[in-house]
């Protein structure tokens, strides 16, 4: 599928995993600590791998202007997938769970994608994460042990399985981003080399 290969190239060159930035002042640091403290309160005594479901209670999904800072995030009503995933990674790290960015290309019916593009346009933002029926998506790899991870989607508050099925759509490609010194990471029974794209029709790869 040449179209998907071209999207993978564009993402690799122009869409790095989202990071929430800091103005390096007290306001940003207090905001970051507030969100970590909120997780500690709401997830007290739970399994460290338990998803931070409270994120989707606190935030609606919607357009965000980037770059985004901690002081802005704490006051926002809605966040996009990259911002939510960046917070989830920070939360997991605060629990002692190593977490890595995971990038995906998803396919949806055209009417769904058109609705999302219109939402970004109404906010005056470029929907540069949409290509026809394909979209860019960010999720989180929560590392269970040295070589195994689970893939968590903060938008759906659900674990994603290697079958690639998501609500109303499917995963067509995936890349776990991390240090190459860790080698490959197992997602269920699938061995994924960090930094490499894998096509999902079953799973094929690596690519790119």
- Angle (CA) 68-74-77 rounded to 5° is 90
CA-to-CA separations, 110 to 49, 120, 185, in angstroms, rounded = 34, 16, 33
Report which secondary-structure segment, H or E, holds 130.
strand 130-131
Dist CA 207 CA 105 (whole Å): 13
Please answer whether residues 171 and 200 qualify as being in contact, where contact means their C-beta atoms are separated by less than 8 angstroms. Answer: yes
Ordered by start, the domain boundaries in the chain are 2-207
**What pTM was computed for the model?**
0.93
CATH class of 2-207: alpha beta
Dist CA 135 CA 11 (whole Å): 10
The residues with which 138 forms a beta bridge, in sequence order, are: 103
Per-residue pLDDT of the chain (208 residues; tens, 9 = 90+): 689 999 999 999 999 999 999 999 999 999 999 999 999 999 867 899 999 999 999 999 999 999 999 999 999 999 999 999 999 999 999 999 999 999 999 999 999 999 999 999 999 999 999 999 999 999 999 999 888 999 999 999 999 999 888 888 899 999 999 875 667 899 998 999 999 999 987 445 445 5
SS3 (DSSP) at 100:
strand
The number of angstroms, rounded, from the C-alpha of 22 to the middle of its chain's C-alpha atoms is 19
Dist CA 12 CA 175 (whole Å): 10
């Amino acid at each position: 599928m040449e179209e998907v290969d071209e999207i993978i190239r564009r993402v690799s060159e122009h869409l790095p995993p989202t990071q929430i930035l800091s103005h390096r002042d007290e306001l940003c640091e207090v905001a970051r600590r507030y969100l970590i403290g909120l997780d500690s309160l709401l997830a007290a005594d739970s399994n460290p791998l338990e998803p931070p479901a409270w994120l989707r209670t606190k935030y609606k999904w919607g357009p965000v202007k980037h770059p985004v800072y901690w002081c802005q995030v704490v006051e926002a009503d809605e966040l996009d997938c990259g911002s939510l995933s960046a917070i989830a990674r920070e939360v997991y790290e605060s629990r002692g769970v190593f977490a890595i960015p995971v990038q995906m290309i998803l396919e949806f019916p055209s009417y769904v994608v058109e609705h999302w593009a219109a939402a970004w346009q109404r906010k005056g933002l470029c929907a540069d994460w949409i290509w026809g029926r394909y979209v860019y998506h960010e999720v989180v790899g929560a590392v269970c042990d040295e070589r195994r991870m689970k893939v968590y989607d903060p938008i759906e508050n659900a674990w994603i399985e290697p079958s690639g099925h998501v609500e109303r759509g499917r995963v067509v490609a995936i890349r776990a981003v991390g240090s190459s010194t860790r080698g490959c990471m197992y997602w269920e029974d699938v061995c994924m080399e960090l930094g490499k794209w894998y096509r999902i029709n079953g799973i094929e790869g690596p690519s790119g």
